[in-house]
Amino acid sequence: MISSIVWIMLVEKGVINSDHAPWEIYLPIAFIEIVVYLKLLPKVTDFIDKVMNNKVEGE
């Protein structure tokens, strides 16, 4: 998702020529995005668990 937005922005700015194969730049961006996502996933799930527990206890 994020890498797609970054890709579109770079093409619009003319940084990347859209005629070239996008994988040269797209794959590293996608890889970085996956690494960041996997690092943030435990924090996000913990946060969701806390929110859900608070809602259950509040009822």
pLDDT at 43: 86
User: Which residues span the domain enclosing 36?
Assistant: 2-58
Rg of the chain taking only CA atoms, in angstroms: 18
Considering only CA atoms, which of 42, 19, 38 is closest in space to residue 30?
38
Structurally, the chain folds into a number of domains equal to 1
pLDDT tens digits for 18-27? 666 566 667 7
What's the mean pLDDT when you consider all of the chain? 74
| DSSP count for the chain of H helices, then E strands | 2, 0
CA distances from residue 58 to 18, 22, 44, 49, 53 in whole angstroms, order as listed: 53, 50, 21, 14, 8
pTM comes to: 0.39
